[in-house]
Amino acid sequence: MYFASGSDSSGSAADSDSEASSAAGAGEEESEGNRSSSAVAPAIIRPEDCHTDPKLLKALVENHKRSFPYAGAFLVKNEEDTDSNTVTRSDPKKSIHGLKGKELLKHLHEIGTLAKITSIQGDQVLLLGHCRLRITEMVEEDPLTVKVDHLKHMVDFNYQRLADFGAAISVTNKLLCQGVLEELDVSKRLMLTLELVKRELEITKLQQSIAKAIEEKITGEQRRYLLNEQLKAIKKELGLETDDKTALSEKFRKRIESRKEKCPSHILQVIEEELTKLQLLEASSSEFSVTSNYLDWLTVLPWGDYSDENFDVLRAQRILDEDHYGLTDVKERILEFIAVGKLRGSSQGKIICLCGPPGVGKTSIGRSVARALNRKFYRFSVGGLSDIAEIKGHRRTYVGAMPGKMVQCLKSVGTSNPLVLIDEIDKLGRGYSGDPASALLELLDPEQNANFLDHYLDVPIDLSKVLFVCTANVIEMIPGPLLDRMEIITIAGYITDEKMHIARDYLEKNTREACGIMPEQVEVTDSALLALIENYCREAGVRNLQKQIEKVYRKIALQLVRQGVSNEPAREITLVEPSEQPTGVSIATEVENKSQRDSLAEDVSVHVIPTDFSCEKINVVSLTTKSEVDHYEHPKGVSKETSADDKATPTNTSGKMEANEHTEEVMEALVDEALVDKTVEKVVVDASNLDNFVGKAVFQPERIYDQTPVGVVMGLAWNAMGGSTLYIETAKVEDGEKKGALVVTGQLGDVMKESAQIAHTICRSILHEKEPNNTFFTKSKLHLHVPAGATPKDGPSAGCTMVTSMLSLAMGKLVKKDLAMTGEVTLTGRILPIGGVKEKTIAARRSGIKTIIFPAANRRDFDELAPNVKEGLEVHFVDKYSEIYDLAFPSDSQALAS
């Protein structure tokens, strides 16, 4: 928009052109009445649309001081509208404001607006439009002064006002508004304005729809966030609450204040630095969240807080005996550990590793040790763990970073000296995230864990007061450096006698209570438990035995419930005092209808409140069972045989209610329907009906032969589930010259296959020594088989058994009855020591074996076994196979033809 001075601002222009003067006069005449008839410039003002010519501003100021302060306002044309090659087209750096005189006039639209100068503030001029003008000629170049004609309308004034007003309120393109300004035909102008208004309406609708769509995208959480922020701001203004940063800082300082004296100085320094950092961060930043979480972990840990240890050996003995039966050697080792801790004043030392088959109580022993020492207990399993961050924690820079297990443990238990049970340490994994076994070295090593560094906390933590107990099934699977830091305590398993005591004193009792069964309602005989142990639960532990006992008691519970037994606590049904009821209203009870009475438990107590009937007072009586009701002597005048007339006696003058028919019906219903006879038949479980509760037997007797035939010898084996017996069988396939060969089957591993080949070679040497003329191994092709071929078997302890089996077949001699053996034999006939002596001894007892052959190097292992394990066994310890030969083939052995 460009302003031009009015025609009367130049005397010469006014004198030479009367029409110009009349135009100015017309503007004066219309200044009072025609203010609203003028066209309006675009509503949106941009900086490039404003003129900053000082001379023009000075001329406008002078006009404003006159009695007729008017100026002409004209729109600047677009460059495309000019047909001359102007400065603006050749030099884009120059604007329209640099043009003067005729050049400037060429860039202005011919029709403009006569506007009154209402105010001038600085370089801002406020104009009020009046009427249309058309430029006729230029008077002065600087500032641009022109002569104009006033454009009149010969229609109703309201129409043109409406058209101009519609164009004024639109914010559309300025050229469209200029088109309305130049249109003198009011009807056409109204149509142009109507188009502008419709376009404006569509734009408004589109803006509303966009605004609505945006508003719908704002979720409930965002609204809640905004409301919470407003609430916080209001509370802060009222002094009811501080901001987040201040509240968090106060919380963290309050946490650490109570243990400030015990907390290490380097920890306090880190906490103070982080608190200072927290105050400088914006609450909405991600770094603020990371820092607050870090401070939360730092201040919540029990720095310097220790629980008082109890080194009472007698108390520890009592606790271990309460929680576990047997395991004498294990308990003794734990008591030794506690005794050393009492003398040292601290129970620190080597890491205990409880090794044994599943279900023998390794985890529960760790819990008992924690209870005996009065330490907090924390357990975490590392089975299959492949991420080192689970032990050492994540770096704080990662999203969702967390400290390691030990830091989480300290937070959970609230003390710095808990007992931590690391379960399944033999099943550690190894993945792309590092080797957890190596990370455990720093955690478990007493020389290093005093300054354990968690990646998340990034400050040293003293774990030297933590007592670590590990559990494993097979120590061979534990990495060597980790195993070197542990003290192994082996839990071999339980023999049948021990399982019987555990089942009777622990498992059955706990299961019965858990099922809600009374002792007088069930009897599980010893024969049933023995059959359960021998035919269903032969593993070394008792976990499967517990499952089977639970299965038995679940079926017993179902059987009792079907008989109508309920052991729920008795519930009372009270008859309300009749005197409390209005006259003529029947006595109310909590049992309102038959369906409610049917839903009551059978074992229910009925208390009758004493009331004053017309005949006699009824005493308080508690009816527990129907039999008690039958033997109860009803008071005089009140009986179950009361006549209908007596039941319908009206109320007396004292206002107290008489016994009525409803009362008698309630009593009859409670006696006949709610109360039942509690006498039920006791459920007895014995060996004869055990399969009704747990199904058919899973295992057959391990003792297949009462007397093993020629070529068959019983061996003893060890596996992760405990000990077991196995038969090694040898048979002749064919005879012939140079047919001597050996075939082995039975899912044997490489070690056992090598043992079979070594045994075959040794047998040839021994047979040549014992029977020089026997050419059995030279001419016979042999087949050696270990039954249960679906089960993989491997290990260096079956060599002597294989040798004995082949010799038995070659010489046609039976092996001594009730004999089992174990041990590896070398080519020179030496017997090497084996492992799992206790497990193999238990397996032999389970099969009814009387004589066992062990390597001489295992004598110490056998001597350490409990007396009840060794009882009734004849054990021989040998160094050479020749000793086994003399034991297996006594001189009076029966010889059979080969």
Catalytic residues: 797, 840
φ, ψ dihedrals at 241, nearest 5°: -155, 145
Which H or E run contains 62? helix 54-65
Q: CA 842, CA 853: separation in Å to the nearest integer?
A: 14
Residue carrying structure tokens 């001489």: 856
Question: Taking a C-beta distance cutoff of 8 angstroms, is the pair 132, 112 a contact?
Answer: yes
- By DSSP bridging, strand 419-423 and strand 377-381 are parallel
CB atoms within 10 A of CB 667: 22
φ, ψ dihedrals at 197, nearest 5°: -65, -40
Closest CA relative to residue 468, chosen from 445, 436, 450, 452:
445
**Is 429 marked as a binding-site residue?**
no
Q: Give the DSSP letter string of 738-770.
A: T--EEEEESSB-HHHHHHHHHHHHHHHHHHHHH
Question: Taking a C-beta distance cutoff of 8 angstroms, is the pair 416, 406 a contact?
Answer: no
Q: Give the DSSP letter string of 276-334.
A: HHHHHS-TTSHHHHHHHHHHHHHHHS-TT--PPP---HHHHHHHHHHH-SS-HHHHHHH
**Is 345 marked as a binding-site residue?**
no
Q: What are the strands, taking DSSP E only, across 579-666?
A: 605-607, 622-623
CB atoms within 10 A of CB 580: 11
**For 123, how many CA atoms within 13 A lie in the half-sphere containing its CB?**
8
Q: CA 741, CA 778: separation in Å to the nearest integer?
A: 8
Residue 177 burial by Cβ neighbours in a 10 Å radius (0-12, 13-18, 19+):
buried
**Is 890 marked as a binding-site residue?**
no
Amino acid at 583: T
Residue 551 burial by Cβ neighbours in a 10 Å radius (0-12, 13-18, 19+):
middle
φ, ψ dihedrals at 226, nearest 5°: -65, -45
Closest CA relative to residue 741, chosen from 711, 788, 784:
784
Q: CA 492, CA 541: separation in Å to the nearest integer?
A: 9
Residues 6+ apart with CB under 8 A from 216: none
Residue carrying structure tokens 């061996």: 715
**Is 869 marked as a binding-site residue?**
no
Contacts of the segment 508-512: beta carbons below 8 A, 24+ positions apart: 508/549, 511/546, 511/549, 511/550, 511/553, 512/553
Question: Taking a C-beta distance cutoff of 8 angstroms, is the pair 267, 241 a contact?
Answer: no
- Alpha-carbon distances of 717 from 738, 793, 832, 837, rounded to whole Å: 34, 9, 15, 9
- By DSSP bridging, strand 111-121 and strand 70-74 are antiparallel
Q: CA 486, CA 484: separation in Å to the nearest integer?
A: 6
Contacts of the segment 25-29: beta carbons below 8 A, 24+ positions apart: 26/131, 26/150, 27/68, 27/70, 27/114, 27/130, 27/131, 27/150, 28/68, 28/70
**Is 356 marked as a binding-site residue?**
yes
Q: CA 435, CA 389: separation in Å to the nearest integer?
A: 10
Omega into 143 within 30° of 0, i.e. cis? yes
- Alpha-carbon distances of 332 from 321, 394, 542, 864, rounded to whole Å: 11, 41, 21, 12
**Is 640 marked as a binding-site residue?**
no
φ, ψ dihedrals at 76, nearest 5°: -80, 135
- Torsion angle, CA of 274/277/283/287, rounded to 10 degrees? -80
- Residue ranges for the binding site? 356-363
- Residue ranges for the binding site for ATP? 356-363
